[in-house]
Structure 1
Amino acid sequence: MDNQTRREKLYEMLETAEAPLTGVALSKALNVTRQIIVGDVALLRSSGKKIISTARGYQLAWEVPEKGFHQELPCQSQSMDEAELEAELNVVVDNGGIVHGLVLSHEVYGVIRVSMKLYSRRDVRQYMDRIREEKGPLIVALTQGRHVLQVETRNDEDMDALEEGLKEMGVLA
């Protein structure tokens, strides 16, 4: 397979993936080294492809598809800690939602986007385990707990249910 064909296949894999793909997984699937994948991703990005790196691997940047219900929900918590963040994310997935990410707006750093792609409690638990392993402050500490959740649901009822759950938690602004 030539270089251009490999990059096209890599992009196709990202387009059809339901979860982020690690560099190792991509390198095995395409029978090249992980470093080749890193270079291919850089070339694809420079050609305008919207590929992002997350803690769980590479994925395409979130764009709002025409189907489904999408919201950006402003949230606020003065005492945001790991347990509360985990509970907040679980409210979304427990009510049929997908957490695509969160957005922070900081006076100095500007807009910070965190891609998540969390579909289930298992995804939330794995995400939080990685945060705990790092033993650093939560990124929402930069904005004193203010953030915007980017969520998607299959229907309006699920969106209403997850918004109600966030209101009950006291985090929906």
Structure 2
Amino acid sequence: MVQKKRKSAEERRTIILDLLKSADDPIKGNDLAEKMQVSRQVIVQDISLLKAAGKPIIATSQGYLLLQKPHAHSITKMVACNHTISETEDELTRIVKCGVTVLNVTVEHPLYGEITRSLMIRNLNDVQHFIDNLEKSGASLLSSLTGGVHLHELEADSSEKLDRATASLKEAGYLL
């Protein structure tokens, strides 16, 4: 029986970074752990060390993602929204149906100040995954800290798409 030599921590982090660079979608920590034949906690530590070394890795509800430089033709816009938890799926669906990505969510907390978390919701599949995770986890949305008020940073390849998404949010009564 041939025993595989365990990779060094540095080799493992290099492989993790390469996997994230080549991935189109986020990679779950459990999947990285399985591939590297280590525990998920080791992956969490590796990701923390990579972040500390300046690698632009973010943790989303779908897994880890390496932030790529935005395309020269992408445009971003901040929108202020307010809605109930039950309207979350409709809000996100309205945005992505316009060809717009929801980059993140931000709330203004009275004690901690601004809290921003990455979302990277690009399509209807991402919306459904987010909603499924919300329901399964029983977790609260960040906007529950602020009575439903929150900001989204949106990204698209044209101002027309951003305008359509904003108009759709306004039509639903979600824009502040």
Report TM bin, short chain.
Answer: 0.7 to 0.9
Match of 2:155 in 1: 152
Which letter maps to 1:43? L
In the TM superposition, structure 1's runs of 4+ consecutive aligned residues that sit over 6 Å from their partners are none
Name structure 1 gaps, 5 residues minimum.
none
147, 154, 172: which one aligns with 1:169? 172
SS of 1:20 mapped into structure 2: coil
> Does structure 1 retain, via aligned residues, the 8 Å contact 2:74–2:156?
yes
Structure-2 residue corresponding to 1:16 = 22
Match of 2:40 among 34, 52, 63: 34
Please give the residue correspondences for 1:23-172 in structure 2 after superposition, counting only pairs within 5 Å: 23-60=29-66, 64-75=70-81, 77=82, 80-172=83-175
Do 1:19 and 1:117's aligned partners in 2 also have CA atoms closer than 8 Å?
Answer: no
- Shift in Å at residue 64 of structure 1? 4.8
Change (3 A) 1:63 1:113: farther
Between 97-106 and 48-57, report the one with greater CA deviation. 48-57
Count of matched residue pairs: 170
Taking structure 2 as the reference length, the TM-score comes to 0.83
Q: Is the 8 A contact 1:105 1:112 kept in 2?
A: yes
What secondary structure sits across from 1:129 in the alignment? helix
Check conservation: 1:81, 1:138, Cα contact below 8 A.
Answer: no
Alpha-carbon separation, structure 1, partners of 2:66 and 2:17: 9
Identity of aligned residues (%): 31
Instruction: Measure the CA separation in 1 of the matches of 2:140 and 2:44.
Output: 28
- Which TM-score applies when normalising by structure 1? 0.85
- Inter-CA distance 16–151: structure 2 relative to 1 (3 Å threshold): farther
> CA RMSD, aligned part only?
2.2
Which AA in structure 2 matches 1:141?
S
User: Could you tell me which amino acid in structure 2 is paired with residue 102 of structure 1?
Assistant: V
